[in-house]
Structure 1
Amino acid sequence: MRIYRHNVAGETVTVYVPQDERDLERFRDWVLTARTRGPIALDTETTGLDVFGASYRLRTVQFGDEREAWVIHWERGGAFRTSALWALEVIERFRIHNAPFDWLVLDRHAGVSLESLAPRTVDTKLLAGLVDPRQPQEGGIGTGLKPLSAYYVDPTAPDTQGDLTAVFRSLGLTKATGWAGIDLDHPTYNLYAGLDVILTSRIAPVLAAELSRLGVRDVLVQYEHEIARICAVMQRKGMILDEDYVRTLSGLLRQEEDEYTKVAARYGVENVNSTRQIAEALIGMGETLTERTASGALKVDKAVLLALADMSMQWERLNTRTPNPLADAVLRSKRAGKWCTAYADTFLETVDESGRIHPFINSMQARTGRMSITRPALQTLPSSDQMVRRALLAEEGHVMVSTDFAAVEMRVLAALADVKRMKEAISTGQDLHDFTARLVFGEGFTKAHRKLCKGVGFGKVYGGGSATIARQTGAPMDDVQRAIAAYDRVYPEIKRASARWQREAYQSGMVHVSATGRRLPLDRDRTYAVVNYACQSAARDVLGQSMLNMEEAGLLDYMRLPIHDEVLCSVPANEAADIAREIERCMTFDLFGVPIEAEAEIGKRSWGSLYGADY
């Protein structure tokens, strides 16, 4: 037996690393005793993050409580694996930090299904996010094991990953290769593998007590665990990749990047990532740049360039000015390069042996609880894109079905703020943006008026000010400000709700409690964002409840991705119409008297077919 000791919060804790059958017998005795005392923390060490990669390996499985940890070398096989599998079966309750990752690792590489693990798991990362969803850079504690341990357990709690990275360098390994290349018996590797479960064991009861003190309901905690499980099931299933198409796409994107890089060079911009070169060239072309970065440099970010190129944030033509050819070229060059690297290349790097990619779905990412998808970040694709989406396919004999909520942000706003006129328009089936434009500009309103009112409405929901609305709609600033004032007159409840929510937040430690009981911390210099947080959080939970409804209806096997306010499914072509209606039913319900409705669109085999692709 290898034994390592360490000091945590003034106590000596012990990490055991079994070496033979006698040691494993001691481990099994410990499990039988420890499980009677309460939940046991569980963690894994692997060769990296790409769980579904062909060369990926599970190296260790570790179990622990507040004072002891056992690191079982799965990689050794034989009795080590048998003992780990036995423990995974007989332990009734687990504590895991970032449980979906370990669920998927053990499901894929140990044959222990996530369906068997999830009901027995409390995820301390989810608990932390419900206590305070902010990351350190936002003024929060963070949801990583290190900052949580330092805050709640011991300010000197070891930075396991940081220490191991230093070890990797000393061994001639990189951060990317170290997890696979470090010797299984390395003392630092084993010590910190064990310490992670000890720290998880210690923060779990503290977080549970904090949730109780703050009045966070148990039903919300359980709800988040259910959503995490559903997202893990979708990640495990993955999506079929059209690899031939992606290889062709990669080449086309590199060609497009090169083409527009050359256009930019004709205007004196040798490097499309050089803000100085771009700013100087634009000024030389007669453009006026007024916005500056925190360091004082002229700002030429995406928003500025889109306005100069006469495009909205969705890359739609605004027809408000002559497009600047340099701004257009820089945007297109950078987008092509980003799409090639972030999507096409990442698809090919992460595709598994069966031709599938498995994007990671973080079920509770943003401060508001909004979900995110990484590697690749599919939620960042513009709504008009078909090119990248064309790469992802439904099952053989299936078609893609996308079901999206109808104007969910505005409906949620109407429900939460009890906006009488909005609720009237929604209940009578009117187009809300037409209705608003009619109230603001009269019966003779134009398409431009409608677009402006829509922009103001989304500005209320997403927290955008007049400058952002002007940029997105192409309307002059004076027109935007007049429209905002008129919007406030016809929908006074929104402004009153914002003032009430801000006042309540000041009285409760700068925290707004959402409709579902989620705690949403506010920044003192941006309390007006409370409307945005309230609406975004409720819209996210509308999506989450819909996903639970879909599982209850037997649709989980068809579900592939939650994207913003949309659920993407792969369904048998000959049953598509019936299944689409059932999905719509699951995503339709009442929110404080406002009907939340969804509409399903049936495509062809590729996701891109829902955006205009022909396959």
Structure 2
Amino acid sequence: MRVQHYRIAGEPVIVRSVETSEDVRAFLDWCRSNHNRPIAFDTETTGLDIYAAGFRVRLVQFGTEREAWVLPVDSAAGLVCAPQAAVREALESLPYLLAHNAKFDALAVAAHLGVDLVSLWRRITDTRILAHLLDPRGPQDPGGIGQGLKPLSARHVDPDAPDTQAGLYAEFRKLGHTKETGWAAIDLDNPLYTLYAGLDVILTARLFAVLGPLVEFAGYGRLSEFEHAVALVCARIEARGFLLDVEYTETLAARLLAEADEWSAVARRFGVSSVNAPAQISAALEGMGENLSETTESGAIKVDKEVLLPLADLDRKWQRIGAREANPLADAVLRAKRASKWATSYADAMLSRRDTRDRIHPDIASLQARTARMSISRPPLQQLPSGDWVIRRAMQAEPGCVVGTVDYQAVELRVLAALSGDVQMTAAIHAGKDLHAFTAELIYGPGFTEYHRKVCKGIGFGKVYGGGPDTLSRQTGAPLDQVKAAIRAYDRAYAGVRRYSKRLQSRAEWGVKEVVTPAGRRLPLDRKRLYAATNYMVQSTARDVLAEALLRLDERGLTEFLRLPVHDEVVFVAPADDAKEIGREIQTAMAVDDFFGVPLTTDLEIGGRTWGSLYGAAA
């Protein structure tokens, strides 16, 4: 057994690395003697893609606040002793486990060491969840540090808490590897590697000793239980995965790259040699007579997607606005960049990360962002345009099955109506009105047009997502003065919403800079962005509506059919003969008859073999 000594917060700690069968027995004795204590565990792996070919768990480590045990389990390392069975025994028997970002480690040991995911998860406390409940701000937010183990440890455990990762990256470079590839190449007994592994669980145990009492003191005990339950459902969905149409995806990857080259060639005809060169794009657009007034923090002219879409006369769904003649360069740059991104971030990523059964397992983060909104990454499926089928067509049901979706009807606006108590908006919802058309009629009269409805829809979502008149003017093509007038009319029509927003801002201005959601979640507000109070409240509450729905679906035994939670909907796969019945069960479980006086209704749609069939794809 190799022993390494270190000091954390001025106290000595020990990292023990298992090398022999006797060491394995000593580890199991240690587990038994610490059976009633919280034990932190963690894994070191070859990468982040748990289900991809070549992924391996290399180390599993366990620890208390003063001591860690590091066990090598890499099946490709030719170990003299094989402690996999001891690791499984520990994970299956220890009653109180801790982990930081527990979903990754739980899925890794479930997939590669045969540990039962559900049994394991029910004994885990995730310190990342606790940290998010106490402070959901990210490192990019004023006053926020995020939920990473190292910055949290530096704040709550030891200001000099070691970040051995930087040293490991230097070690990787010595081996001729990058910070991505070095994890699979470094020797299992490398002293820096084992120290890094051991200190992580010691820091996790110490972090829990601080955060656990703070969570209880803040009254977040039940909310913590809720978030752990939601995380388990999302982990089970992620573990199941979504079947990939490999042939279609391979063809799509090649087509997208060709499309990117085609549109890049169009951009070159306007003097832009690279669609990723903002200075070239802005100079060319100004040379074509476009007025570009927005700048980045560094002072450069901004030509991002939000600027280029209106110039190309496109809305966020890539549909023509009809407000101006489309600028051909802006259009070409947008299409070239989108095709290139889709080829790499979606098609290539899905092909390289699929498992041996041709299933992809997108990373579902159940508790993300300041508002707790869920996110999907690797690949980022929630970023797909709402009306596009091209990427969705790659994901399909098993033979004999079809894909369906159940989504909430205008859930954010219904939540806004419920929280604000706005009489007119609530009455329209109860009457079954199309809220955007109803609003357009209130503002523009019975002769309103589809264009007016689009403006009113933008104003409504601006209340939810924080878009101002300038943004709405760009997105709709409406003159700024008309947009401002429409917003004033909207505020008059929905006086309850306006009063609610002012009340939230006033409380934050004169009291604690935060809003408290119906779930009891405290969301910090930035001093200069108090106007975001309504956005945060609505987005977070709508997220909790979906999270609660996932738990109801799980209680009814429907999780096995789920493939993705995306925004305000769930995607499911069911046998073709039973799809309508299963879909209706999902629809019923998700619906809420009375949410603070407002019904949260759902829509069911059954498609064909592929997810894309719900969006216009032929198959």
- TM bin, normalised by shorter chain, reads over 0.9
CA root-mean-square deviation = 1.2
Per the alignment, residue 546 of structure 2 pairs with 543
Alignment of 1:156-235 (within 5 A): 156-216=160-220, 218-235=221-238
Identical aligned pairs, as a percentage? 54
Per the alignment, residue 106 of structure 2 pairs with 103
- Asked if 1:293 is matched to 2:292, the reply is no
Per the alignment, residue 329 of structure 2 pairs with 326
- Asked if 1:39 is matched to 2:38, the reply is yes
> 1:429-463 CA deviation, whole Å, 9 max, x = no partner?
11111211121122222222211111111111110
User: Contact 1:99 / 1:123 at 8 angstroms: preserved in 2?
Assistant: yes
Find the partner of 2:520 among 513, 517, 522. 517
Q: Distance in 1 between matches of 2:45 and 2:283?
A: 49
Q: What is the one-letter code of the residue matched to 1:613?
A: A
Per the alignment, residue 507 of structure 2 pairs with 504
Alignment of 1:388-403 (within 5 A): 388-403=391-406
Alignment of 1:389-428 (within 5 A): 389-428=392-431
User: Contact 2:20 / 2:80 at 8 angstroms: preserved in 1?
Assistant: no
Q: Distance in 2 between matches of 1:411 and 1:211?
A: 31
Alignment of 1:223-372 (within 5 A): 223-372=226-375
Deviation of 1:214 after TM superposition, in Å, equals: 2.9
Structure 1 window deviating more from structure 2 (101-110 vs 82-91): it is 82-91
Q: Which runs of 4+ in 1 moved over 6 A?
A: none
Per the alignment, residue 603 of structure 1 pairs with 607
Q: Distance in 2 between matches of 1:546 and 1:97?
A: 26
User: Contact 2:514 / 2:523 at 8 angstroms: preserved in 1?
Assistant: yes
Question: Does the residue aligned with 1:175 lie in a helix, a strand or coil?
Answer: coil
Per the alignment, residue 58 of structure 1 pairs with 57
Question: Does the residue aligned with 2:553 lie in a helix, a strand or coil?
Answer: helix
Question: Does the residue aligned with 2:404 lie in a helix, a strand or coil?
Answer: strand
Q: Distance in 2 between matches of 1:132 and 1:67?
A: 26
Q: Distance in 1 between matches of 2:29 and 2:510?
A: 52
> 1:336-373 CA deviation, whole Å, 9 max, x = no partner?
11110111110111011111111111111111011111
Q: Distance in 1 between matches of 2:438 and 2:337?
A: 39
Q: Distance in 2 between matches of 1:19 and 1:389?
A: 48
Per the alignment, residue 455 of structure 1 pairs with 458
The TM-score, its normalising length taken from structure 2, stands at 0.97
Q: What is the one-letter code of the residue matched to 1:474?
A: G
- Asked if 1:436 is matched to 2:439, the reply is yes
Per the alignment, residue 23 of structure 2 pairs with 23
- Asked if 1:446 is matched to 2:445, the reply is no
Per the alignment, residue 69 of structure 1 pairs with 68
Q: How many residues align?
A: 613
Q: Distance in 2 between matches of 1:270 and 1:350?
A: 32
Deviation of 1:288 after TM superposition, in Å, equals: 1.5
Per the alignment, residue 125 of structure 1 pairs with 128
Structure 1 window deviating more from structure 2 (418-427 vs 52-61): it is 52-61
Question: Does the residue aligned with 2:475 lie in a helix, a strand or coil?
Answer: helix
User: Contact 2:242 / 2:563 at 8 angstroms: preserved in 1?
Assistant: yes
Question: Does the residue aligned with 1:443 lie in a helix, a strand or coil?
Answer: coil
Q: What is the one-letter code of the residue matched to 2:282?
A: A
Deviation of 1:23 after TM superposition, in Å, equals: 2.0
**5+ residue gaps, structure 1:** none
- Asked if 1:482 is matched to 2:485, the reply is yes
> 1:299-327 CA deviation, whole Å, 9 max, x = no partner?
21111111111111111111011111111
- Asked if 1:377 is matched to 2:376, the reply is no
Q: Distance in 2 between matches of 1:424 and 1:295?
A: 48
Per the alignment, residue 152 of structure 1 pairs with 156
Per the alignment, residue 560 of structure 2 pairs with 557
Q: Distance in 1 between matches of 2:568 and 2:165?
A: 35
> 1:546-573 CA deviation, whole Å, 9 max, x = no partner?
1111111111000000111110001110
Q: Distance in 2 between matches of 1:398 and 1:408?
A: 29
User: Contact 1:60 / 1:71 at 8 angstroms: preserved in 2?
Assistant: yes
User: Contact 1:260 / 1:329 at 8 angstroms: preserved in 2?
Assistant: yes
User: Contact 2:363 / 2:377 at 8 angstroms: preserved in 1?
Assistant: yes
Structure 1 window deviating more from structure 2 (92-101 vs 433-442): it is 433-442
> 1:397-444 CA deviation, whole Å, 9 max, x = no partner?
110011111010100100111111100000111111121112112222
Structure 1 window deviating more from structure 2 (487-496 vs 476-485): it is 487-496
Q: Distance in 2 between matches of 1:66 and 1:120?
A: 18
**5+ residue gaps, structure 2:** none
Question: Does the residue aligned with 2:159 lie in a helix, a strand or coil?
Answer: coil
Q: What is the one-letter code of the residue matched to 1:204?
A: F
Question: Does the residue aligned with 1:333 lie in a helix, a strand or coil?
Answer: helix
User: Contact 2:47 / 2:183 at 8 angstroms: preserved in 1?
Assistant: yes
Q: Distance in 2 between matches of 1:106 and 1:245?
A: 32
> 1:256-300 CA deviation, whole Å, 9 max, x = no partner?
111111111111111111111111111111212121222222221
Q: What is the one-letter code of the residue matched to 2:433?
A: Q
User: Contact 2:246 / 2:394 at 8 angstroms: preserved in 1?
Assistant: yes
Per the alignment, residue 578 of structure 2 pairs with 575
Q: What is the one-letter code of the residue matched to 2:600?
A: I
User: Contact 1:310 / 1:323 at 8 angstroms: preserved in 2?
Assistant: yes
Question: Does the residue aligned with 2:59 lie in a helix, a strand or coil?
Answer: strand
Q: Distance in 2 between matches of 1:508 and 1:65?
A: 40
Q: Distance in 2 between matches of 1:245 and 1:175?
A: 32
The TM-score, its normalising length taken from structure 1, stands at 0.98
User: Contact 2:145 / 2:151 at 8 angstroms: preserved in 1?
Assistant: yes
Q: What is the one-letter code of the residue matched to 2:149?
A: L
Q: What is the one-letter code of the residue matched to 2:178?
A: T
Q: Distance in 2 between matches of 1:232 and 1:562?
A: 11
User: Contact 2:19 / 2:81 at 8 angstroms: preserved in 1?
Assistant: no
Question: Does the residue aligned with 2:180 lie in a helix, a strand or coil?
Answer: helix
Deviation of 1:82 after TM superposition, in Å, equals: 2.1
Q: What is the one-letter code of the residue matched to 1:608?
A: G
Deviation of 1:105 after TM superposition, in Å, equals: 0.6
User: Contact 1:312 / 1:474 at 8 angstroms: preserved in 2?
Assistant: no
Deviation of 1:213 after TM superposition, in Å, equals: 3.2
User: Contact 1:264 / 1:329 at 8 angstroms: preserved in 2?
Assistant: yes
Q: What is the one-letter code of the residue matched to 1:27?
A: F
User: Contact 1:306 / 1:327 at 8 angstroms: preserved in 2?
Assistant: yes
Deviation of 1:80 after TM superposition, in Å, equals: 1.3
Deviation of 1:32 after TM superposition, in Å, equals: 1.1
Q: Distance in 2 between matches of 1:502 and 1:521?
A: 12
Structure 1 window deviating more from structure 2 (69-78 vs 99-108): it is 69-78
Per the alignment, residue 80 of structure 1 pairs with 83
